Structure 1
Amino acid sequence: MDKIRFMVVSGFLGAGKTTTMIALAEHLSKTYGETAIIANDLGANLVDTNLTQTSGCTVAEIASGCICYQMDNTIDQIRRLRDKDGAVFVMSDIPGCGVGALDHVYHRLAEDCADEFTLSPFTVVVDPERLRMIMPERADINLPEELVYLLKLQLEEADLVVLNKADLLEEAGIHRYVDFLKTACPDIPVIVISALEKTNIAELADFITTHETALKNFSVRHNQEFADAEAKLTWYNRRLYLKTNDGGKIDCNAVVDDLIEGIRMGLIERKRNVPHLKTFATSGNGDFNKASLIGVDYDVEYAQKLLRPHKNLRMIINARAVCEARPLARLMDDALDEVCEKYDLDCQVFFTECFGMADEGR
């Protein structure tokens, strides 16, 4: 049996890992062979899984924990994607604060499954805005210094750095970011893409299918600074159903806009931030709204908006916030209550979880 290629896609919250994996999977499935995605995060009910499914890509989900700490499950999922779906290439992301998959995942696969897996370069996706935190201007984007340290660790772990969101940059800006990366990460290749516009995806696909990991020795197993950085973040995940009380159709894009704005204002009021907030809302039939916010000072980005009015909406909210769990849960409830009152909506909440990495009992 031929070996299956596997790749981990790492990167900071909001860097565009999922969009990059979808663009790659679409291209590779046409040019290389059936390619599958594993959506991974610490919580359940993932926006990324739903978004990937709408693209038509083959997707599996590993939730409620990083793949680093459930390797038996990860290996089973890869094999299942190979045996059931015919995948010859599988890629998985890890949570946006994640560091350590090179140690926990790649080295484990190299030691125990070398005859079964070829390991493509350990790929780290970065976006220009977050990269400015460690560039000479040391941009202050209202994130704790501990999270800046996470970004530095992620770059150190990389076999390949992918500068995403090139569509937001002028040519001179691209050169400036690439020059910085080549200085900050010497001997690590850099590829510039726009996952949204699918720019240079073919170049990236060619690299990851013709190169393998250097299998560097890199570990954060006893790194207290990394633990301190993780402790700054709270995970929030909610799945809910909204419907109009009068049965009429309304502009559900406005509902999403106002809900995100309510969350933003709640965080600003408490002097807190959200490195990444994602929502996915659909009424079925392929019509959906996918929104992303990478901080309280930024505009909402949309992968797609709903094309027509609806009378009901299924929605998932994922937030990774620099905010304590209790106030985050309260401000989320307040924002939802305000939207329901404004648009006269009935709301049924099916699932909610809110936890900090340092919370007792985790």
Structure 2
Amino acid sequence: MGQIRFMVVSGFLGAGKTTTMIALGEYLKEHYGETAIIANDLGANLVDTNLTQTSGCVVAEIANGCICYQMDNVVDQLRRLRDKDGAVFVMSDIPGCGVGALDHVYHTLANDYSDEFLLSPFTVIVDPERLRMIMPEKADINLPEELVYLLQLQLEEADLVVLNKCDLLSEADIQRYVDFLKTAVPDIPVLCISARERTGIEELAQYVTKNTTQLKNFSVRNNHEFEQAEAKLTWYNRRMFFKTLSGDKIDMNAVVDDLIEEIRMGLIERKRNVPHLKTFATSGNGDFNKASLIGVDYDVEYEQEFLRPHKNMRMIVNARAVCESRPMARIVDDAVDAVCDKYELDCQVFFTECFGMADEGR
């Protein structure tokens, strides 16, 4: 059996990795062949899995840990996607603070499984707002210096850098960001896209299907600064079900918006931040709401909102916060209580996990 292509998509929290994979996957499925997406994160009950399933691509999930440390699972998933689903191109993201997949994943596959998997360029997605942290203006967007270091490491790891969200920029600004990237990482190609608007996706598809990784020697093993950066983050995941006490249909978009706003205000009150908060809510029949927040100083971004009122919704919340785990858990609990009181809702919680990377026992 011939090789199939595999590609890791890395990037900072909120850069648009999932949206990029969906846009790229839909294009490849039409023009290249069956394409599969692996959603990966440190926790369970992932927003990205649910969102990706709306794309029409084959979807798999590797949860409860970065793919870097689950190589047997990765190989099993790749073989299943190839043999059962007929995938010829598979891509996986890694957690948004993740660095090291080039070392752990690509080099392992190249050394031990080169007859099965052809490795496309290790691709790092960057968004303009976060990139400003390391540009000459040194923008302060209320994130610790340790997380700025993570962004720098991710760029160094790349075979290909993709500047996303270019629909939000003028031509002059796009050129300014590209010029900076070509100076910061001079030997790495840069492509510009808008995953949401589907611009630049054809060029990206052509690049990742015609080129392979350079297999650079890049490692963060025993890197104390990297460990300090990871220790700043808390992972919060919850799955719950809301329903109106009256049985009447209401605007569930307002509920989602107010829930995120309550979390935002709780973080601001404690002088904490959330580099990425994602929610996915659905009431069935294909109607869903996907929201994203990349910091307490930003507006909520909606991939899609509910098209009509509903009397209930299933909801997943994933947050990656610069906040200790216990305060973060209380903030979300308080936010849920607030919206239930305001909209006269009942909430059943089916799953919750909240942990810091430096918490005892991890």
- Give the shorter-chain TM-score range: over 0.9
How far residue 324 of structure 1 moved from its aligned partner, in angstroms, is 0.1
Which secondary structure state, in structure 2, belongs to the residue aligned with residue 92 of structure 1? Answer: strand
Pair 1:31-2:31 in alignment: yes
Amino acid at match of 2:50: N
Amino acid at match of 2:117: F
Which secondary structure state, in structure 2, belongs to the residue aligned with residue 90 of structure 1? Answer: strand
Aligned mates of 2:312, 2:84 — CA distance in 1 = 35
Pair 1:74-2:91 in alignment: no
Pair 1:15-2:15 in alignment: yes
What does residue 145 of structure 2 align with? 145
Aligned mates of 2:55, 2:73 — CA distance in 1 = 25
How far residue 2 of structure 1 moved from its aligned partner, in angstroms, is 1.2
What does residue 59 of structure 1 align with? 59
Aligned mates of 1:150, 1:143 — CA distance in 2 = 11
Aligned mates of 2:205, 2:56 — CA distance in 1 = 18
Aligned mates of 1:212, 1:175 — CA distance in 2 = 26
TM-score, with length taken from structure 2: 1.00
Q: Which runs of 5+ in 1 are unaligned?
A: none
Q: Pairwise mapping of residues 1-362 of structure 1 onto structure 2 (< 5 A)?
A: 1-362=1-362
How far residue 194 of structure 1 moved from its aligned partner, in angstroms, is 0.2
How far residue 91 of structure 1 moved from its aligned partner, in angstroms, is 0.1
Amino acid at match of 1:296: V
Aligned mates of 1:29, 1:53 — CA distance in 2 = 14
How far residue 275 of structure 1 moved from its aligned partner, in angstroms, is 0.0
How far residue 56 of structure 1 moved from its aligned partner, in angstroms, is 1.5
How far residue 16 of structure 1 moved from its aligned partner, in angstroms, is 0.1
How far residue 57 of structure 1 moved from its aligned partner, in angstroms, is 1.6
How far residue 286 of structure 1 moved from its aligned partner, in angstroms, is 0.3
How far residue 175 of structure 1 moved from its aligned partner, in angstroms, is 0.1
How far residue 54 of structure 1 moved from its aligned partner, in angstroms, is 1.3
Aligned mates of 1:173, 1:342 — CA distance in 2 = 42
Number of equivalent positions: 362
Write the deviation string for residues 131-174 of structure 1: whole angstroms up to 9, x where unpaired.
00000000000000000000000000000000000000000000
Which secondary structure state, in structure 2, belongs to the residue aligned with residue 173 of structure 1? Answer: helix
Write the deviation string for residues 45-65 of structure 1: whole angstroms up to 9, x where unpaired.
000000001122210000000
Aligned mates of 1:124, 1:309 — CA distance in 2 = 38
Aligned mates of 2:356, 2:291 — CA distance in 1 = 23
Write the deviation string for residues 237-277 of structure 1: whole angstroms up to 9, x where unpaired.
00000000110000000000000000000000000000000
Amino acid at match of 2:333: D
Which secondary structure state, in structure 2, belongs to the residue aligned with residue 85 of structure 1? Answer: coil
Amino acid at match of 1:9: V
Aligned mates of 1:244, 1:346 — CA distance in 2 = 6
Which secondary structure state, in structure 2, belongs to the residue aligned with residue 5 of structure 1? Answer: strand
Aligned mates of 2:99, 2:34 — CA distance in 1 = 28
- CA RMSD between the two structures: 0.3
Aligned mates of 1:38, 1:326 — CA distance in 2 = 30
Which secondary structure state, in structure 2, belongs to the residue aligned with residue 54 of structure 1? Answer: coil
Which secondary structure state, in structure 2, belongs to the residue aligned with residue 203 of structure 1? Answer: helix
Amino acid at match of 1:45: N
Amino acid at match of 2:252: C
Aligned mates of 1:268, 1:24 — CA distance in 2 = 36
Aligned mates of 2:70, 2:58 — CA distance in 1 = 21
Q: Which runs of 5+ in 2 are unaligned?
A: none
Amino acid at match of 2:273: N
Which secondary structure state, in structure 2, belongs to the residue aligned with residue 267 of structure 1? Answer: helix
Amino acid at match of 2:142: N
Amino acid at match of 1:270: R
Which secondary structure state, in structure 2, belongs to the residue aligned with residue 260 of structure 1? Answer: helix
Aligned mates of 2:109, 2:56 — CA distance in 1 = 28
Aligned mates of 1:269, 1:96 — CA distance in 2 = 25
